[in-house]
Structure 1
Amino acid sequence: MGVTTDGTVVEDLYSVHRTGASTGKVVAAARAWLASLTEAQRQAVTFPVSTTDYTQDQWRLWTNVDGDRDAGLSLADMTEAQRVRALAILKAGMSVRGVENADKMRHLNLYGGQLVDLTDQFNDELYWLTIMGTPSATEPWGWQFEGHHLVINYFVLGDQVVMTPTFMGSEPRVADYGIDSEYEGTKSFEEELAAGFAFLRSLSAGQRKVAITAVSTSDRDLTAGAYSDNAVMPYEGISASALNRRQLAKLWRIVELFVGNVDEPHARVRMAEIKKHTHETHFSWHGPTDDDAPMYYRVHSPVVLIELDCQDLGPIGKAAGWAAGSNQRHIHSVIRTPNGNDYGKDLLALHLALDH
C-alpha cells in the first residue's frame, strides 16, 4: 500500500509513460558491474524485481542502522575494479549533488568511526549493492545501495525512475573535531536545514502557528523510515494553498533538494509531477526555531513525503561522550513516494497488467 493518510490508497496517481529522460547510462553501468563479478558474486547480488512474499522482498528489507547484511555484496568485499564499477551505478543514476551527498554520508560514517576508534564498525566501505531483476531498456529492474545512514532504492521502467525510499543521515553532521582525517571539515545537510528554516521564517505569525504542530521533538522520529512501508500519516501543518508566491518558492526549494538527488532530467520530471498536487501539499514543523535547535520538518502530499529529523545520541555520539540532546549533530532524513509507488510498485503493477 505504501504511505497513506488514512489506510486507503489514492488511486490513479501514477502511469506508465515516456518521460524523455534517458536511463541508458544507468542500465549500462549496472550491466558493466554485473559483468565484473564472479558467478558466485552475481548469484549473491541478484534478486527478483517483484515477489508476492513480502518477507522475502529484498526491496523492503533495507535498514539504515549499522550491522551485518545477509544479501548483496559490500564495497569492502569487492576488488578495486568492482568498487569503481559499483559506484559508477550511483554516478549514472544520480545527480552530481546526489552523488556528493551519498559520498558525504559514507565519509562522515568513516569520520565518526575514526573519532571513536570504531572504524571496523563505522567506515565508508560497509555498503551493500544488490540488483533487482535484469538491467534492461524495456523491462522493470532496479538496484539498492544500503548501509549505515545511506540507503538508495532505484527502480527503472523504460525511461521512468522511482528513487524512493532514499534515506540519508549522518553522525556527526559536521566533521569539526580536529582529528587527523582526510574528511575533517566535511559538512552535511547544510542546505536542507537552511531551506527548512528559511521557509518557516517566511511565514507570518498566524501561518507559523498552523505550521508548527509540536513545540518539542522529544517524541519525534522518522515515521516513514525503515520497516515502515505502510505507515499511516495524516496531513498536518500548513497547506501550500495558504502560501503566497514567495513562500511557495521556498517550499519547493526544500523539495528540490531532496528530489534533486536523482539525475537532473528525472528530477525535473519528478518536480513537475509533485507540483501538480500543490494544493494538497502540507508542511509541518516540530520543535524550537533557533538556528541550532533540534527540530523536525515534513513535506507531505499524495505523491511525495519528505522527513528530516534531528536525532538524539546514536552509537557514535554515545561513544564520543556527547551530552544528550545534542542539537543537530545527528540527523536522519527520508524521501518516499506515497500511495503505493515506493520501489516503483505501482508502475510495476501497471506494467504487468498492461504489457503482460
Structure 2
Amino acid sequence: MRAAAGALLTALDEPARQRARHDFDDEPARRWLEYRPRPRPGISLADLDGAARKAAHRLLATALSPAAYAQAMAVVALEEVLDRAEGWRRGRHSGDYWVAVFGDPVRDDRWAWRFEGHHLSVSMTVVDDQVSPAPIFLGANPATVRHAGRPVSRPLGPEEDLARELLDALGPAGRTAAVVADDAPADIISATRPTAPGRLDPLGVPRGRLTPTGRALLDRLVALYLDRLPPELAAREAGRLAGGELHFAWAGPAGPGQRHYYRIQGDDLLIEYDNTTDDGNHAHTVLRRPASDFGADVLAAHRAAAH
C-alpha cells in the first residue's frame, strides 16, 4: 500500500500532486465520507493521464479483495449507464472519481488515502505500518439492469441475496424479533457522518437467539463484508470480532423488488444495506467501525506508545 501510494504521487506532475496531497492533520478532509456526486478533496481521475490513472487503480486494489475490486469497477462503470438512463442530462462519467493522499506515504509513520466518487468510498489509514480499513462504501444505481427478465448487471447481488436467505431462515419468531420497522429508512442511517453511531436502536435479533442455520448464515453475511478487504486484513478483522455478540435487524417488506434495509451491529462494527429508492433498485452498502473509523484505533495505539 505504501509503495502504491508513493508510485501514484510520483506519477503526478507537480500541480496534480499538490491537489492530491493534504496534511494528515487536516481532519475535515481526512475524516470524510461522501457517496453522492459532490465536490470532494483530492484530484479527479478525469484530470490524470493514463499512467497516473492506472497508479490510482493499483492503489485502490491494495485495499480490496479481487471480488470487491470487481464490484468497485462495476460501480464506476454504472455511472455511464446511469447517465444514459437520465438522458445524458447530468454529465455523469466514469472518470469522476477522486483520489486523495494525507501525509507522506514514503516517509511518515502516519498517513492515509481515499478513493472516492459517486457510490464508492474507500478510506485507509496507516500508522506504524498498521492498516485501519474503514469506512468502505459501495453503492449501485441501478442496482440491477435486466434483459428479458434476467440480470445483466447486479454488482451488489450477493449482499442482498444472502441477507434474504438469512431472513427466510429465521422462522416466524426470529423474523418478528429481527424486523424492526415496516418501512425502510430513506438511506443508510450512518449516512455521510465522519463518526458513525456506536449503536442503533432497536437492535434486532441477537445471534445467540438464532438457530444453527441462522447463525451460520449471519456469519457468512458478515464474512461477505469483511472479505471486501485483502485476506490478511479480513482475517484480522474477523479475529477482532470473534466472541462478540452480533445483532441483525431488517426494515421493510421481505419480498424482492420492494424497498428494504438491514444492518448488522457488533463490537466496533456497523454494516448497513439499503435499497430504498427507485422502487428498490438503488442500493447502498457500508462497512464501518464506529470507534475506529479513519484510523482512530491505530492512532490511539500510536499516541499511547509515543507518550
* TM-score interval, normalised by the smaller of the two chains: over 0.9
Q: Establish whether residue 352 from structure 1 lines up as the match of residue 283 from structure 2.
A: no
Distance in 1 separating the partners of 2:270 and 2:204: 13
AA at the equivalent of 1:260: D
Tell me what 1:188 maps to.
Answer: 155
1:254 pairs with 212, 217, 221, which one?
221
Q: Which one of 296, 306, 311 corresponds to residue 276 of structure 2?
A: 311
Superposition deviation, residue 137 in structure 1: 8.6
- 1:107 corresponds, among 77, 80, 89, to 77
Amino acid at match of 1:72: G
Show structure 2 runs of 5+ residues with no match. none
Q: Which amino acid aligns with 2:19?
A: A
Q: Secondary structure at the match of 2:138?
A: strand
Q: 1:248 to 1:159 in 2, by over 3 A?
A: farther
Q: Which has the higher strand share?
A: 2
Superposed CA deviations along residues 278-305 of structure 1, whole A, max 9, x for unmatched, are: xx21100001111222210000012210
Count of paired positions? 304
Map 1:108-187 onto structure 2 (within 5 A): 108-118=78-88, 121-136=91-106, 139-176=109-146, 185-187=152-154
2:27 is the alignment partner of 1:61 = no
Verify the 8 A CA contact 1:283 1:299 in the aligned structure 2: yes
SS at match of 1:185: strand
Partner Cα separation in structure 1 for residue 15 and residue 132 of structure 2: 29
Offset of 1:353 from its aligned partner? 2.8
One-letter code aligned to 2:117: G
Letter in 2 for 1:164: A
Once the two structures are aligned, what percentage of the paired residues are identical? 28
Q: Aligned equivalents of 2:38 and 2:298: distance in 1? A: 32
| 1:289 maps to which of 254, 267, 276 | 254
Residue 64 (structure 1) shift = 1.1
Partner of 1:32: 7
**Which residue matches 2:174?**
207
- Preserved contact between residue 47 and residue 130 of structure 1 (Cα < 8 Å): yes
Question: How many Å separate the matches in 1 of 2:23 and 2:288?
Answer: 21
Q: What does 1:31-50 align with in structure 2 at a 5 Å threshold?
A: 31-50=6-25
State whether residues 33 and 194 of structure 2, in contact with CA within 8 Å, keep that contact through their aligned partners in structure 1: no
CA 1:300–1:136 in structure 2 vs 1: closer, same or farther (change >3 Å)? farther
C-alpha offsets along residues 154-202 of structure 1, whole Å, 9 cap, x if unaligned? 1123443222111111111123369xxxxx9222211000110011111
Alpha-carbon distance, 1:85 to partner: 0.7
Q: Distance in 2 between matches of 1:249 and 1:125?
A: 40
Choose between structure 1 and 2 for higher RCO, CA contacts under 8 A separated by at least 6 residues: 1
Give the TM-score, by structure 1 length.
Answer: 0.80
**Which of 253, 275, 288 is 2:242 aligned to?**
275
Distance change >3 Å, CA 136–CA 235, structure 1 → 2: farther
- Whether the aligned pair in 1 keeps the contact of 2:132 and 2:297 (CA below 8 Å) is no
Amino acid at match of 2:12: L
Q: Write the letter of the residue equivalent to 1:233.
A: L
Q: Distance in 1 between matches of 2:233 and 2:263?
A: 22
Letter in 2 for 1:224: S
Following TM superposition, where does structure 1 have runs of at least 4 consecutive aligned residues deviating by more than 6 angstroms?
none
Matched position secondary structure for 2:267? coil
Q: Which amino acid aligns with 1:63?
A: E
CA contact (8 A) 2:109 2:129 kept: no
- Code of the residue aligned with 2:189 in structure 1: it is T
1:76 to 1:122, Cα distance in 2 relative to 1, 3 A? same
Deviations 1:194-245 (A, max 9, x none): 110011111121111101111122x442111212525362351000111233
Q: Does 1:229 align with 2:195?
A: yes
Map of 1:331 onto structure 2: 283
CA distance in 2, matches of 1:230, 1:102: 22
Q: Within 1, Cα distance between the matches of 2:107 and 2:172?
A: 51
Q: Distance in 2 between matches of 1:121 and 1:349?
A: 42
